[in-house]
Structure 1
């Protein structure tokens, strides 16, 4: 896949590069990024280098891109968002954002850009985008809910985070679903 920048004029989603390594390491020190993701803890420079070599590079080659979220064109990394292959016509969305950018609707905007590209016939032409998160990650759930994802259930001990079993929430959006907020169980 060719590198494809996504933007709405407020956010720029671009491929992370070696120039971003120090910033990625800095961002991954955030306790919430560590709490809700499966990144290694402690997170060190070698982890960021491995991420670029073993996750980012192959993802673009396999049409499942990883984007750095930037709030200034050509600016520093303020988060990550990615689509991971989960079978024919299906990808799973995953993301994180730095603390100073949370609560401003930026992740909802990034998800909207990625879903638009993912479902577009001249993008990835996906039929379904799934999401999962460790139970309790309400900000992540809110961001996908605002983008038309439908709650699909709870998976007891469905995930593993640093060797421990965790319960997970599941949701998905179909290509035919409108990008409008959905109602989830409390």
Structure 2
């Protein structure tokens, strides 16, 4: 599959490239990104180089669609859809601390959901969302996009910092995309 570029009112989402390595490395020094994602910790320049190479391969294989989130031509995050063993894609995103609270992650994630549920991808019936329990920012984004909170996966998140519980939610193609109440928020 060829990488696709998505555009929103403020953002461009495009495949990460070699010129993004330094920015990815710098952003992934953020303790919140290391806590709430599966990026290596410590995050080295070589990790950013490997990530860009992997993103290129994932696009080519059609196994994952990964975009760099760009605001005013500056990399401010990542968003993507990765296939789970169930076949349903999982949405993931992180944004720079410099843009948190400004709707950037919500805008980018909405574009990714729209891309996933586009008519040319009729096999995508469900998109799953997972976040470390307590990651209220990510949960608020998912809720605003219409995801339904579905429960807790105990000790299901593993990264360099250890294990953690995961909140899990889902969005079906035919769901109303309006926010609904979540018991954890």
Superposed pair shares fold, TM > 0.5: yes
Separation of aligned partners in 1, 2:115 and 2:123? 8
Structure 1 ranges of 4+ moved more than 6 A? none
Q: CA deviation at 1:121?
A: 1.5
Q: CA deviation at 1:164?
A: 2.0
- Specify the alignment match of 1:128 in structure 2: 126
Separation of aligned partners in 1, 2:108 and 2:123? 18
2:110 to 102, 109, 112: 112
In the superposition, the TM-score normalised over structure 1's length comes to 0.93
Q: 1:96-111, aligned counterparts within 5 Å?
A: 96-111=94-109
Say if 2:12 is the partner of 1:12.
Answer: yes
Superposition CA RMSD, Å: 1.5
Q: 1:37-52, aligned counterparts within 5 Å?
A: 37-52=37-52
Q: CA deviation at 1:117?
A: 0.6
Separation of aligned partners in 2, 1:87 and 1:117? 20
Q: CA deviation at 1:28?
A: 0.5
Q: Is the 8 A contact 2:40 2:159 kept in 1?
A: no
Q: Which runs of no fewer than 5 residues in structure 2 stay unpaired?
A: none
In the superposition, the TM-score normalised over structure 2's length comes to 0.93
Q: Is the 8 A contact 1:89 1:128 kept in 2?
A: no
- Specify the alignment match of 2:167 in structure 1: 169
Q: CA deviation at 1:25?
A: 0.5
- Specify the alignment match of 2:143 in structure 1: 145
Instruction: Label 1:7 to 1:123 Cα distance change in 2 as closer, same or farther (>3 A).
Output: farther
Q: CA deviation at 1:6?
A: 0.6
Q: Deviation digits for residues 122-152 of structure 1, max 9, x if unmatched?
A: 2575111001111110000000110010001
Q: Which runs of no fewer than 5 residues in structure 1 stay unpaired?
A: none
Residue 176 of structure 1 aligns to a residue whose secondary structure is coil
Q: Is the 8 A contact 2:35 2:161 kept in 1?
A: no
Q: How many residues align?
A: 183
Q: CA deviation at 1:171?
A: 0.3
